[in-house]
Amino acid sequence: MRTGTLAPWNQLDDQAVITCRALAMDAVQKVGNGHPGTAMALAPVAYTLFQRIMKHDPSNPDWLGRDRFVLSAGHSSLTLYIQLFLAGYGLELKDLQEFRSAGSKTPGHPEYGHTKGVEITTGPLGSGISSAIGMAMAARYEKGLFDPQGKTKLFDHNIWVIASDGDLQEGVSGEASSIAGLQQLGNLKVIYDDNRISIEGDTHVAFNEDVSARYKAYGWHVLEVATKSDGDVDQKALEAALIKAEDFVDAPTIIRLKTVIAWPAPNARGTAESHGSALGAAEVEATKVLLGLDPNESFVVPAAVLTHSRLAQVRGAQMRNTWESEFASWQSANPKEAKLLQRLQSKALPDNFDKSIPVFEPGKDIATRAASGKVINAIAAVLPEFWGGSADLAGSNNTSIENGGSFLPSSSEMKGANPFGRIIHFGIREHAMGAIVNGIALHGLTKPFAGTFLVFSDYMRGAVRLAALMDIPSTFVWTHDSIGLGEDGPTHQPVEHIAALRLIPNFAMIRPADANETAIAWREVIKRRKPIGFALSRQNLPVVDRLQCGSAEGTAKGAYVICPAKGKPDVLLIATGSEVHVAIAGAKILEEQGINVQVVSAPCLEWFAEQNEAYKESVLPAAIKARVSIEAGVGIGWRELVGSTGEIISLDHFGASASASHLFKEFGFTPEAVASAAKRSIANSK
């Protein structure tokens, strides 16, 4: 809830908005491409947020107490860049002049980690608003870590979003908005830019539903703001709606704001052309005349406007200083919570973290999904910041935290409901789940994970790619990793998915061979703080006897010798996941025939690629040309490791509905097939 009154809107505020519109035109006109129309129309919206509404400090973009701003309509990046310039985040006029140019701080779409003040990478429509919902969830969970009794407002802040028609057309935003309503995320405030224009023209050719009614049905507060009679944004009505939205704390709010794209351009306003193209010199000049500007000047920022706008720094510093004073008192009164917060901010782990990772004894068979579940609970016991859930598959994914409570609003009547619970029920909404996990990770203090079947990672790929692009610690737990899931058949058997996910730059896929590899992998995932996906088995797998084989610690290096040769190897067998056991059995057949075999378990090829050349040589000696790879998926990617004379045992077609044992035998994943392939490779390499 807002305290105090806002200063009256004055002539300098009007001039600042005019300046924003001119800068949007000039920046796109200079580079020759971009999206000027939305940035022109939304200039008063973004300016009002950054100068009058949001809690933020330009001199400290990472201030814990700040509101977050998400430009879900990422194509209108100038909407954000111009405000970061005016408010004093470090962007300067030359950065706007270099818009969309090589090496600039102002790329075509906002990029997290590249430009100060950008909270999230946006561009793929629907992703921003969906991840913002994750941020809002994270804020509530963190409130539970530091102030569960609600004694302070230190950890209360809002997530502000500007979303477009395109954002709300994408299915992911519908999935996520449904969750937001159910979760009653009162800290989420969305401004929907309803300009009714997209690249193909009037959005009603494809999108004419009653958005307000839809969001009311989701359980959101809905406010509507019409344009003024001349088509401009009604700033007074908008500001009143923003203030009213701040007062709504029992549910998320969407402000449906009517705008005219490219306002006030005399010919381009309201047209599809202004969405994604420069207006042209003549139209820019004509628009500047309407705005009372010199049509022959570009990138002009009056000194009085800049001085006035930079008062955002003074306002921000005052808010932060007040917050820090209250924070110091909170620290003294809450030493345990303060110590936890300090650890989370420093990205440190408890001293006993490594000891918490379980060790599994040989002699039993356990599915790696089940082992993962045990490790998740062991980690949760020492890391209160660790939480997550699945897309209605917790029992199958083994992603529940025992006695963790269901993350649900306090008004929920569901069993186990807890507003600060550790178990997130995403429902059957995989894409939203991925985007929400990204938002939680971006919020900064907690460690989220999410699970579903590997085959459904297809629904999540956009979110996974963005996690990799932003280099954030989103963890995806995908189970039922191959034809080993059996009778559910080819619709659920992910033959191409691991290879496809490995193609994503900066993303690591982990497919452990047994319970102990799973445990070591989880330990590394927590320590590395990188975007990572697990591929875990449905079927039980033997726990490798480490007294007879290499230590599971090799998992941390991505690949290691799990069964060394008795002399110089004649052939290398390289396998992942459940096929490692097939490779070990195949090696025994070969050894009985006098062939020396080195078996390599390669749970994570990306981690292995990071190792130095000496280590790689110790695992895969270059002199040994006879090699066989074994993985129950498509063979793409393995030729690089096995070479031209190597053999690839793979599955380059869809599976079938039958038992796992039948399918492995039918499709050639047997010790005998491995032995035969090894002999062929030995013969070919001579």
Q: Which domains does the chain have, with CATH numbers?
A: 15-318 (3.40.50.970), 353-542 (3.40.50.970), 552-684 (3.40.50.920)
SS3 content of the chain, % helix, strand, coil (to 5): 45, 15, 40
What pTM was estimated for this model as a whole? 0.98
The low-confidence residues of the chain, meaning pLDDT below 70, are 1-4
* C-alpha 497: how far from chain center: 19
CA dihedral of 147, 150, 153, 159, whole degrees rounded to 10: 80
pLDDT digits (tens, 9 = 90+) for 191-203: 999 999 999 999 9
Residues annotated as part of the active site: 430
Give the separation between CA 134 and CA 234, rounded to whole angstroms: 30
pLDDT digits (tens, 9 = 90+) for 222-257: 999 999 999 999 999 999 999 999 999 999 999 999
Length of the chain: 686
Quote the percentage of the chain above a pLDDT of 90. 99
pLDDT of residue 615: 98
pLDDT of residue 161: 99
Which pairs count as long-range contacts for 522-528, CB under 8 Å and 24+ apart, including other chains? Answer: 522/357, 522/372, 522/375, 522/376, 522/379, 523/353, 523/354, 523/357, 523/556, 524/555, 524/556, 524/607, 525/475, 526/349, 526/353, 526/379, 526/383, 526/386, 526/447, 527/349, 528/473
Residue 251 DSSP class = S
pLDDT of residue 1: 59
pLDDT of residue 686: 86
pLDDT digits (tens, 9 = 90+) for 266-304: 999 999 999 999 999 999 999 999 999 999 999 999 999
Look at phi and psi of residue 633 and say left if phi exceeds 0, alpha if psi is from -120 to 50, else beta: beta
Contact assessment for residue 117 and residue 54, using Cβ atoms and an 8 Å cutoff: no
Contact assessment for residue 395 and residue 382, using Cβ atoms and an 8 Å cutoff: no
